[in-house]
Structure 1
Amino acid sequence: MSWSQPQPTDTPHDQMTVLVGSAIRLLRGDAGVFVVSNEAFDPQSSTEYTYYHLSKTVLPLLLSYVQEGMQPNSLHPLVVEAMPPELAQQLGQSEDVVEEQGVECCSLALYDDDGPLGTLHFLRRATLRSCFERHNDEDAESSLQLFVMQLATSLRFALRSQALSKEQGRLAAIFSHSTEGILTVDNALRIIDFNPAMERLTGWRENEVLGQFYFKVLRPKDRQGNDQGLQNSVILRAFSGEEVINREMIICARDGQRFSVAVTASCVRSVHGDPMNGILNIRDLTREHQQEEQRSTFISVISHELQTPIAIIKGYASTLSRTDARFDAKTIRSRLLAIEDEADRLNKLVGNLLYASRIQANGLQMDITTLDLAHLIRSMVRRLHAKSPDVQVTLAIPPQLPVVMADRERIEEVLQNLLDNAVKYSPRRPEITVACYSTGEEVIVSVSDVGMGIALREQQQIFDRFHRVGEPLSQATPGAGLGLYICRAIVEAHGGRIWVESTLRQGSTFSFSLPREEKAPLPMVVF
């Protein structure tokens, strides 16, 4: 007896379904299910089913029924039992067939040279028999064993193909969704894989670099910026058996921008030990270097900002404590006022540091109430005039400015920081304009000056911690680079936004928005 194996289909899952269906038809069955033995194939996965002409809703009924009956084995590979009529109808068998011919449930144990594979359970009419069950055929038993072996071998191959396909899918997902760049080359150092993270990192598209010499695409340099020779290539080092892990170097993006990366290289070898492929894992170090620069900036700025008021306080205190000198009341008062001012400056610096730490730890507490911005702004401008009479402030606040939902003390800090910066960074006589206007969703406040301005390349970083503008005047002005960082944290905690518009040496306008107490009504339209 011989039986034809179906033609391969597109996917391993389809192959399983076709194989099971063909076997059930050859056994004269109408419907059935193949239950994979986990112990035989994949102990770590759950039981897999491939069924033919059965729905998922009735599958548990059949599985429950066959578990209670006699189980087939290698000595008795085929077990046949009459099925109750009610259950047969529930499983989709027609009422006429059930009443006139009856329905049998058959279980066939599948095994090959590698061991048991699973069990094929199928339904058929009681009046039908396959060629393997003809009592007058002396070779029926051996034919059934041969059929079982061939079917098991085909199903095992399909299962392994299915497992391989799943593994390839998992590897493809890792390759595509990895946050690190992955580049693969052949033994001639031509690029054969280029994942999306590499595309984002370098600006090149995969279809543009496939087949290209990887050295030409990345143009690697050492940490000092010197061109790396091909003999120092990390891929060749990996090919030679050297361990290459987190080797820091500089590569070039498509637009010519250079940036530092950490490269790990590995080699895939043939069964004979010859290099087949090289794999590069590339991790961008730009963010790490920025954080390192922030830490260095923090140490230098804070040490300078702390030492200056401490030195002034110590100097004046030492002068006043001299026993060989006599000072009049006016001199003593001016020295004490200077000590008080520097102590206030020191206290504000420490307060800002603690404030920034609370923001980093998500510990910013807010007391949101209705707030009259117009009244708060006028109050703060009067306070500024009392402290700095030479500052010229122009207010542009419309009447009936809507109230906002905000924490009064926090918004006062934002306005104080913006006003102080407008004064500090204006080399000439400070001229400040504070303007407000409202939209349907928010109220926007702007503080403008005619000072030094901010270069375009620094406007995106101006709200980062410890960042200070690189202009000489800015560097000479006292400050730790925390004020605008705190302003952004406060405004965003209110659900608002903060931004800057500036032209170098012409001035800056810092604006922030706060949500209105209630949305503006839509205009009435009369037809």
Structure 2
Amino acid sequence: MTVLVGSAIQLLRGESGVFVVSNEAFDPQSSTEYTLYHLNKAAVPLLLAYVQESMQPNTLHPLVVETMPPDLATQLGLAEDVVEGQGVECCSLALYDEAGPLGTLYFLRLATLRSCFERNSDEDRTEPSTLHLFVLQLAASLRFALHSQSLLKEQGRLAAIFQYSTEGILTVDNALRIIDFNPAMERLTGWRENEVLGQFYIKVLRPKDRQGNDLGLQDSVILQAFAGQEVVNREMIISARDGQRFAVAVTASCVRSARGEPMNGILNVHDLTREHQQEEQRSTFISVISHELQTPIAIIKGYASTLARTDARFDSRTIRSRLIAIEEEADRLNKLVGNLLYASRIQANGLQMDIITLDLENLIRSMVRRLQARTSGVQISLSIPPHLPAVMADRERIEEVLQNLLDNAVKYSPRHPEITITCYVTGEEVIVSVRDAGMGIALREQEQIFDRFHRVGEPLSQSTPGAGLGLYICKAIIEAHGGRIWVESTLRQGSTFSFSLPREEKAPLPMVVF
């Protein structure tokens, strides 16, 4: 565009100018586009304001020439000596072709110059003037350039959609060989695009049906799309590069030639792993909650029915033990319901915090005394540096976090649990770690341990009461404080749960960070 406009202005003996594209000619939705030649963009509004006040060119009078005021010419960037010595003309040239108006070319030139197209424009009225032929040729070239520009923009948009789509997109030729493989597909399968180009797509994806049977060429979803069948959200199982299998929903479509022959096939691949995990969470929720609710209810009902019998006499010690059991199970039931409501508030972003300056050391020591008073046989050691800085936190919420971590350390440890609580100080935050010597957590479980209703798949874990909400609540509370929570664990060697809280006062620099 710039080369065409610049060449046209030079042929018309101009020094500088701007081509203004007509919106109606190109894209009614777009804003006005400019192509500048030796003209500062800041000068465009001045020039356009001037030419709009004068007579506009049209197909009968395609070229309008006016002498420009010297002060305006100087503002547009022309040298003062040239403006005063020779004068400057502002020319407006309407560009059109058989398809209609294309735009207007505005250019500046010395008043003493004329182009060859203007000299011959009035010689023979019976033949098209050279200026008219020039306008048609220039308009055709510019229209072609505009369409090329439009195609490039459209190609860029399509490439961006292909590149940044969160859905896997794979395209094949009519021989089912891969010709495109977007980044989402790379992340999904582990294959790089340069490794799969030209390969048979079934060989790369190794698709299976939901029962695990191989889907061969006769069951190819792309061939079905080639045959005109509708393939939308078809569930199947594909394999990643490392052999891992996962469920996906595929949609296949066909790109056809003008004669209706299939040219390319497009496969959109949607990973169903997350949806299946949510389904598993829902089923886990139902099974866990029903079990966790039924157990205390059954115990309460059993003891209450026993005590209500009229044909039996119980001594005070037996009655007291039954009532204590009923109270404990009622507390357990109350805690479960409270955790469910808590989780619902977290999901609804309804977690409110009362942030104050908190003495973390006193809180930890208080929690330890409380745990030792109600749990016999537990050994707890503290490692707290002197003058532990205060943190900004909600006291009740941090109590809940510590309570959950300490309860877990006791529940998932041997008969005589040993727990170590350690505090670390950095320049920005205080870190609290709770370490146990219990069953530990497998590496593959550690990323999911903070998810709702997730319970570690070890026998001891499955037999231990709980709904899988404690760590989820801990994570929500700590992150609401602007902190972090994480786990380091080795199977059958114990786990260390750590969380951080922001300090009330930041440490002066420099400071050694441990």
Matched, 1:110 2:110: no
Tell me what 2:124 maps to: 138
Tell me: CA distance 1:98–1:440, structure 2 relative to 1, closer, same or farther (3 Å).
Answer: closer
Do 1:36 and 1:118's aligned partners in 2 also have CA atoms closer than 8 Å? yes
User: What is the TM-score of this pair, normalised by structure 2?
Assistant: 0.95
Deviations 1:142-179 (A, max 9, x none): 22211111111111111111111111111111111111
Deviations 1:14-57 (A, max 9, x none): xx111111111211222221111111221111111112111111
Do 2:202 and 2:216's aligned partners in 1 also have CA atoms closer than 8 Å? no
Alignment of 1:493-508 (within 5 A): 493-508=480-495
Tell me: CA distance 1:423–1:87, structure 2 relative to 1, closer, same or farther (3 Å).
Answer: same
Do 1:185 and 1:277's aligned partners in 2 also have CA atoms closer than 8 Å? yes
Q: Match for 2:449 among 454, 462, 467?
A: 462
- What letter corresponds to residue 87 of structure 1 in structure 2? L
Q: Match for 2:368 among 375, 381, 385?
A: 381
Shift of 1:409: 1.2
Matched, 1:280 2:249: no
Aligned residues: CA RMSD: 1.9
Deviations 1:210-248 (A, max 9, x none): 111111111111112211111101110111111111111
Tell me what 1:64 maps to: 49
Separation in 1, partners of 2:490, 2:77 = 79
Find runs of 4+ consecutive structure 1 residues off by over 6 angstroms.
none
Shift of 1:504: 2.0
Shift of 1:64: 0.7
Matched, 1:322 2:313: no
After superposing the two structures, state which structure 1 stretch, 134-143 or 180-189, moved more.
134-143
Unaligned runs of 5+ in 2: none
Do 2:427 and 2:511's aligned partners in 1 also have CA atoms closer than 8 Å? no
- What letter corresponds to residue 192 of structure 2 in structure 1? R
Unaligned runs of 5+ in 1: 1-15
Alignment of 1:50-449 (within 5 A): 50-134=35-119, 137-138=123-124, 142-449=129-436
Separation in 2, partners of 1:478, 1:485 = 16
Separation in 1, partners of 2:381, 2:100 = 90
Tell me: CA distance 1:503–1:103, structure 2 relative to 1, closer, same or farther (3 Å).
Answer: closer
After superposing the two structures, state which structure 1 stretch, 363-372 or 394-403, moved more.
394-403
Provide the aligned length of Structure 1 versus Structure 2.
Answer: 510
Separation in 1, partners of 2:160, 2:509 = 48
Do 1:132 and 1:141's aligned partners in 2 also have CA atoms closer than 8 Å? no
Shift of 1:141: 5.5
Separation in 2, partners of 1:496, 1:229 = 51
Deviations 1:334-356 (A, max 9, x none): 22221111111111001111111
Separation in 2, partners of 1:446, 1:200 = 35
Shift of 1:524: 9.2
Tell me what 1:489 maps to: 476
Separation in 1, partners of 2:386, 2:106 = 84
Do 1:449 and 1:509's aligned partners in 2 also have CA atoms closer than 8 Å? yes
SS at match of 1:250: strand
Separation in 2, partners of 1:393, 1:166 = 67
Separation in 2, partners of 1:109, 1:95 = 29
- What letter corresponds to residue 403 of structure 2 in structure 1? Q
Do 2:171 and 2:264's aligned partners in 1 also have CA atoms closer than 8 Å? yes
Identical columns (%): 85
Separation in 1, partners of 2:499, 2:304 = 42
Tell me: CA distance 1:398–1:63, structure 2 relative to 1, closer, same or farther (3 Å).
Answer: closer
Shift of 1:416: 1.1
Tell me: CA distance 1:78–1:455, structure 2 relative to 1, closer, same or farther (3 Å).
Answer: same
Separation in 2, partners of 1:517, 1:398 = 17
